[in-house]
Amino acid sequence: MFISKQILKIYLSFFIMTNQVSAEEIFRDDFEDSSKWKFIADDVMGGLSTGSVVYEIEEGTSIAYLNGEVTTENNGGFIQLQRKLKDVNLDQARFIKIIARGNNQKYFIHLRTTGTILPWQYYQSSFTVKENYQEFILPLDEFKRSGSFLSDKVRPRTIKSIGVVAFGRDHAANIYVKEISFIK
């Protein structure tokens, strides 16, 4: 029995250490430098959605608050908070972690890569926020491409921007984001 307990302890220690290593952050943004982020709406393509992003301090933590009205009128349908990742090495990234809360609606992470040439091309994954902050882990290999001309899967080394997006339907957007990370 003594040997079994030791083996179990060793196994559990190894399992815990393996999980900690696999959750290593490669890149993290907590909105302390809001100048790296920009607001984009569908009006760049003739859409009628409106909104804004406000950077606030909430309980001592920087957050980005994306809000507005998304309308599919006039071929529109999105507002977005986007950050370029030009000088960030994401070769080993396997997941995106986002900590967010909001108005019980579905939102998206959009990734643009060196292969997304046209403005309407992206890879996306959805998550649904609740009233309290939650952590969402989005596997990169589950992001869906926006069209058949793109590679089936996101190649992390090719990612050039990330966006938090209210998208695809008429609705009020109201999402608070505390942090976005790429992890391996």
Query: Which CA distances in Å does 128 have to 55, 97, 108, 165, 176?
Result: 21, 13, 9, 12, 12
Amino acid at 53: V
pLDDT tens, N- to C-terminus, the chain (184 residues): 445 555 544 444 444 444 444 479 999 999 999 999 999 999 988 999 999 999 999 999 999 999 999 999 998 999 999 999 988 999 999 999 999 999 999 999 999 999 999 989 999 999 999 999 999 999 999 999 999 999 999 999 999 999 999 999 999 999 999 999 999 9
Parallel, antiparallel or unpaired: strands 171-183 and 25-29:
antiparallel
Nearest Cα neighbor of 108 from 177, 48, 30, 53 is 177
Residue that is written with structure tokens 């069209």 in the block: 147
Reported pTM: 0.86
Q: Identify the helix (H) or strand (E) that includes residue 18.
A: helix 2-22
Q: In this structure, what is the dihedral angle of CA atoms 149, 151, 153, 154, given to the nearest 10 degrees?
A: -100
How close are the terminal C-alpha atoms of the chain, in Å? 37
DSSP letter string, 68-106 = EEE--GGG--EEEEEEE-TT---TT--EEEEEEEESS-E
Nearest Cα neighbor of 85 from 137, 126, 26, 136 is 26
